[in-house]
């Protein structure tokens, strides 16, 4: 019995960050509130765009518009997170995001909602999110011990996946019942909670604000860091290439309505499945505390994600498709937990705003590009063909990263991780 309890403790999620740090608890609850409404908002926007256009192309294109706004926000927000107190940056940008949700609500109340207003709100919402994200990501590692970074990532993943699980059915019920306007009103109420919680955090200035830059050439420090440290570069390549060739969720409306002929109910199932898998991965993430080669495990999880996407092309019914989307969520979330912990362990605090900002820039650019080309490909080829080709390309890309960045295989999490200095990074600059 004692042995069984010991094995379970190694498997279940570690809540030490919540137990040991009150500021981290506040940050966690603020992010969780935001993530819960994101799950509703993402589905609502996708379904509204598909209802207005009957086109997967526009579903992907709206995501591309949001990513464009995110990119702009990251370019301005990243250096600011390394120079100024991160708390006001988070609070004011989340208030701006609330305004974009209110714009979507106003548009939904029109007799004939405007598609261009959805594009505009998506872009401005991405701008607000991009401005706040570097500060949010840079603040978390300063509130907990380095050995708890993977656990903190798992806890964040629980919030993400819970929001993704709750979001589709809630969005589906609200849209099928009161309609899109009521759904956006629900999101606005939830979005208002986040800045209130963030306002209760203590000041969060960067540790080395005196050598952090606001704009211009100082962003080159982050670029040099990516270029000269193969572990961080390998993590970036893995993240970027995974989503560059295929973004399966762009195809969900077409799968639900055209392939399986199940409408909104089937769409909700497919949107929810990856979140269920991701939540299971987060709840059983205790093993990340003990894995000896997290980089190798990350690459294996990434390859398994691509395999699930390719196999989904052969799904004969909604049940098997839902199961495969669930496996995608499991492997994707487990890999993201390891990727985030490895990244935070190998970036010094004075560079976190800029490095994390550029990291988030590529993390939004790859799905945006991948989603755009996935939607475009679905206009020329069948959905199974797009899934099979995209999944295969993702697996090939993972093998290429393994070959080009072998040091990723031996990267460590925690106190044993190598934390290079800015001077070491500059020494490698040609």
Mind listing the pLDDT tens digit for each residue in 246-259? 888 888 888 888 88
pLDDT tens digits, 311-325: 988 888 888 999 999
Residue 16 has pLDDT above 80, yes or no: no
Under DSSP, the state recorded for 82 is T
What is the pLDDT, as a whole number, of residue 5? Answer: 52
Interval 401-409 mean pLDDT:
83
Interval 351-380 mean pLDDT:
78
Interval 393-399 mean pLDDT:
90
- Dist CA 326 CA 322 (whole Å): 6
Between residues 306 and 16, the one the model is more confident about: 306
Between residues 258 and 185, the one the model is more confident about: 185
pLDDT tens digits, 223-253: 777 777 888 788 888 888 888 888 888 888 8
Interval 390-400 mean pLDDT:
90
Interval 350-374 mean pLDDT:
76
What is the pLDDT, as a whole number, of residue 96? Answer: 93
Per-range mean pLDDT, top range of 98-107, 283-292, 399-408: 98-107
Residue 423 has pLDDT above 50, yes or no: no
Q: Which of 121, 132, 117, 114 is nearest to 73 (CA)?
A: 132
Asked if 310 and 388 touch (Cβ cutoff 8 Å), the reply is: yes
CA distances from 1 to 9, 14, 283, 285, 378 (A): 12, 20, 21, 21, 53
- Dist CA 28 CA 142 (whole Å): 13
Q: Transcribe 262-328 into DSSP letters.
A: -HHHHHHHHHHHHHHHHHHHHHTGGGGGT-S-HHHHHHHHHHHHHHHHHHHTT--SHHHHHHHHHHH
Asked if 421 and 261 touch (Cβ cutoff 8 Å), the reply is: no
What is the pLDDT, as a whole number, of residue 288? Answer: 67
What is the pLDDT, as a whole number, of residue 334? Answer: 86
Using alpha carbons only, what angle is made at residue 338 by residues 334 and 339, rounded to the nearest 5 degrees? 110
Using alpha carbons only, what angle is made at residue 207 by residues 204 and 208, rounded to the nearest 5 degrees? 130
Q: How confident is the model at residue 272 (pLDDT cuts 50, 70, 90)?
A: confident
Q: How confident is the model at residue 100 (pLDDT cuts 50, 70, 90)?
A: very high
* Residue 122 token pair: 């998506």
Residue 104 has pLDDT above 90, yes or no: yes
Instruction: Give the chain's mean pLDDT.
Output: 79
pLDDT tens digits, 54-96: 777 887 788 778 878 888 888 788 778 777 788 888 899 999 9
Residue 344 has pLDDT above 70, yes or no: yes
């Amino acid at each position: 019995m004692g042995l069984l309890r010991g094995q379970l403790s190694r498997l279940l999620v570690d809540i030490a960050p919540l137990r040991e740090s009150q500021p981290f608890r506040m940050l966690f609850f603020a992010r969780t509130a935001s993530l819960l409404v994101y799950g509703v908002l993402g589905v609502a926007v996708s379904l509204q765009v598909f209802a207005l256009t009957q086109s997967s192309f526009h579903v992907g294109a709206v995501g591309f518009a949001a990513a464009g706004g995110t990119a702009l926000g990251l370019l301005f927000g990243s250096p600011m997170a390394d120079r100024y107190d991160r708390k006001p940056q988070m609070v004011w940008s989340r208030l701006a995001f609330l305004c974009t949700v209110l714009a979507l609500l106003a548009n939904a109340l029109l007799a004939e909602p405007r598609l261009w207003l959805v594009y505009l709100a998506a872009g401005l919402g991405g701008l607000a999110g991009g401005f706040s994200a570097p500060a949010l990501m840079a603040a978390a590692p300063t509130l907990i011990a380095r050995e708890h970074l993977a656990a903190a990532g798992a806890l964040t993943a629980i919030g993400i996946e819970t929001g993704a699980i709750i979001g589709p059915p809630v969005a589906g019920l609200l849209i099928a019942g009161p309609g899109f306007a009521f759904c956006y009103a629900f999101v606005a109420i939830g979005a208002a909670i986040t800045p209130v919680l963030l306002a209760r955090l203590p000041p969060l200035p960067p540790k080395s604000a005196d050598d952090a830059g606001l704009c211009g050439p100082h962003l080159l420090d982050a670029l040099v860091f990516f270029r000269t440290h193969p572990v961080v570069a390998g993590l970036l390549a893995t993240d970027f290439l995974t989503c560059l060739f295929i973004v399966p969720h762009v195809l969900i409306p077409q799968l639900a309505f055209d392939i399986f002929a199940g409408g909104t109910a089937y769409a909700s199932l497919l949107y929810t499945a990856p979140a269920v898998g991701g939540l299971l991965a987060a709840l059983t993430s205790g093993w990340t505390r003990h894995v000896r080669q997290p980089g190798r495990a990350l690459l294996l999880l990434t390859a398994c994600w691509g395999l699930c996407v390719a196999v989904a092309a052969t799904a004969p019914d909604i049940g098997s498709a839902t199961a495969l989307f669930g496996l995608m969520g499991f492997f994707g979330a487990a890999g993201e937990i390891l990727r985030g912990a490895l990244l935070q362990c190998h970036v010094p605090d004075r560079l976190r705003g800029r490095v994390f900002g550029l990291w988030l820039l590529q993390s939004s650019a790859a799905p945006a590009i991948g989603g755009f080309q996935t939607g475009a490909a679905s206009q020329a080829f069948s959905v199974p063909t797009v899934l099979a080709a995209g999944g295969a390309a993702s697996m090939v890309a993972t093998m290429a990263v393994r070959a080009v960045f072998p040091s990723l295989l031996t990267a460590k999490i925690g106190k044993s991780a190598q934390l290079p200095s800015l001077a070491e990074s500059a020494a490698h600059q040609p």
